[in-house]
Amino acid sequence: MSEPSRAAGEASPRANLVVAVLALAGITVSLMQTLVIPLIPALPGLLHASAADATWAITATLLAGAVATPTMGRLGDMYGKRRMLLISLGALVAGSAIGALSDSLVPMVAGRTLQGLAAGVIPLGISIMRDELPAERLGSATALMSASLGVGGALGLPAAALLAENADWHALFWTAAGLGVVVTALVVALVPESPVRTGGRFDVPGAAGLSIALVCLLLAISKGADWGWGSAATLGLVAVAVVVLLLWGRWELRTAQPLVDLRTTARRQVLLTNIASAVFGFAMFAMSLVLPQLLQLPAATGYGLGKSMLAVGLVMAPSGLVMMALAPVSARISATRGPKTTLMLGAVVVAAGYALGIVLMSATWHLVLISSVIGAGIGLAYGAMPALVMGAVPVSETAAANSLNTLMRSIGTSVSSATAGLILARLTISFGPATLPSQNGFRLVLSMGSAAALIALAVAAFLPGRSPAPAAPAPAAAAGR
C-alpha cells in the first residue's frame, strides 16, 4: 500500500466523524425553516399580535439568513471556518432560547433573527470538508452536506408538528436549543480548524452594501402581497435594492479584498451554477407550498384531503430521506460523468415530479410519490452544485463561493413563495364563508415548478462538461495565518 493510500485509510474513521457532525449541523440549521410552520395559524394569538405583524417571526429569519450567509462565508475564509461555524451555532442556541422564553412578538422576532444568523453553517461545513477530507470522500460528503438543507426541512416538519400537537409550543424552541448545544459540543470535540485562510482586512462597506440590498429586495418580495405589489413601500424597496446593488458591484470591482470576488463569480461555471441554484430554489419551495395545503384543505372541496399537520409532516418526510439516500448516488454520477450531468439529471427528475403532481393529487399516496420524486431530483442537483462551484474557485475562496451559492438558493425560494402566494390568492373558490385556493391555482404553481426545473436544465446545458481543477491557494493562504 502506498503512503497516500495508507494515510487516507487511517484518516477514514476521523473523516467519517467529521462528515457526520457537519451533516448533523446542516440538518439542525435547516430545521429552523420548518420550526414554526405548525404554529403559523396560531401565532397571532400566541404572540398577542396581528396576523400581519406575526409574520415577522418568519420574515426575520429569512432576512437574517440572507445577510449572514455571504458575510460568514467570507469571514470563514479569512479567520477560520470552524470558528465562524461555532459562532453561527452559538447564535442558533441563543435565538432558540430567546424564542423558548418568549410570549410576545418582539422577543420572538429577536430570537428568530438570531436563528437566521446560523444560515452560514451549510456553506461553511462544505468548505471545511474541502479542506479536511481525503479526495475520495469529498464528493459524497459535500453532496450530503448540500442536501441537508432540504433534508432538515422535510424531516423537521413531522417532528415539529408532533411536538406542537402534544406539548406546549415553547418545547419546539427548547428542542432546537438542545440540538444546537449538542452539535456545538460535537464540533468543538471532533471538527478541526482548517489551516487554509486568506487573512487580510474584512470588506465592511461591501458587507453593509450587500446586506442593505438583500434586505430591501427580500423584504419587498416577502411583504409585497401584504403591502401591495404596486405600493410605494414595495417599489421603493426594489428601487433601493437595485441602486445599492449597482453601487456595491462597482465597489467590489475596485476594492483590493472584496467581500465577493465578482470576477471569480463571473466565471462561466460559477455564474451558471448560481443561476441554476436560484431556479432550483424556486422549484424546491413550490412543493413545500402546494402539498401541505392540498393535504389540509377540507375533503368537501373535492380536491382537499382533510389531513392534520402531523399527517402533512409524515407525507413530506420521505422526500428528506430520499434526498439523503441520493447524496452518494449524486457524488458517484459526478465522479464518473461530471457534475454537469448530475445537475441536468436532477432537473429532469424534478420536472417529472411536478408534472406528475398536475395529474395526481387525489390521494395521500399520490402526494407521497410526488414529494419523493421531487426530493430525488433535488438530492441529485444539490449534490452537484458544490462540486461545480469548488471546481472553479481557489481553495482560499471556498467558503465565500459556497455561501453565495447557498444565498442564490434562498433568493429562489423567496421568489417562489411570493409568486405562489400571489397565484393562490388570485385563483380561489368560495367554500361557505371562506375563500380557498382553487385546484387550478395549485396546478398552475406545480406547472411553474416543472417549468423552473426545465429552465435549470437549459442553464446547466451550457456548463463545461467537466469541472476544471480548483486553482491552488496562494502560499500565504496555504500556510495559514
With cut-offs at 50, 70 and 90, classify the pLDDT of residue 32: confident
Do 52 and 175 contact (CB within 8 A), yes or no? no
Which of these, 145, 109, 118, lies nearest to 129 by C-alpha position?
145
**Looking at residue 351, what is its pLDDT?**
94
Superfamily for the 12-192 domain: MFS general substrate transporter like domains (1.20.1250.20)
3-state secondary structure of 362: coil
**Looking at residue 5, what is its pLDDT?**
39
Do 148 and 22 contact (CB within 8 A), yes or no? no
With cut-offs at 50, 70 and 90, classify the pLDDT of residue 466: low
Residue 19: how many CB atoms within 10 A of its CB?
A: 22
Whole-angstrom distance, CA of residue 403 vs CA of residue 207: 13
Residue type, 230: G
With cut-offs at 50, 70 and 90, classify the pLDDT of residue 13: low
How do residues 119-153 score in pLDDT, each as one tens digit?
888 888 888 888 887 777 777 787 777 777 767 76
What Å distances lie between residue 142 and 128, 136, 294, 325, CA to CA? 10, 11, 34, 13
**Looking at residue 473, what is its pLDDT?**
42
> May I ask the CATH class of domain 260-463?
mainly alpha
C-alpha cell of residue 228:
401591495
Which of these, 104, 98, 105, 75, lies nearest to 87 by C-alpha position?
75
**Looking at residue 115, what is its pLDDT?**
92
Which of these, 367, 341, 459, 377, lies nearest to 150 by C-alpha position?
377
How do residues 385-441 score in pLDDT, each as one tens digit?
888 887 777 776 777 777 788 788 878 887 887 788 788 878 888 887 878 888 888
Residue 449: how many CB atoms within 10 A of its CB?
A: 28
Do 330 and 379 contact (CB within 8 A), yes or no? yes
Rounded to the nearest 10 degrees, how much is the dihedral formed by the CA atoms of 475, 476, 477, 481?
A: 150
**Looking at residue 310, what is its pLDDT?**
78
Which of these, 112, 104, 100, 108, lies nearest to 48 by C-alpha position?
104
How do residues 345-397 score in pLDDT, each as one tens digit?
999 999 999 999 998 888 889 999 998 999 899 888 888 888 888 777 777 67
How do residues 259-318 score in pLDDT, each as one tens digit?
877 887 888 888 888 888 888 888 877 787 788 888 888 888 888 888 887 788 788 888
Rg (CA), the chain: 22
Query: How high does pLDDT run on average in the chain?
Result: 82
Judge whether residue 168 has pLDDT over 80.
yes
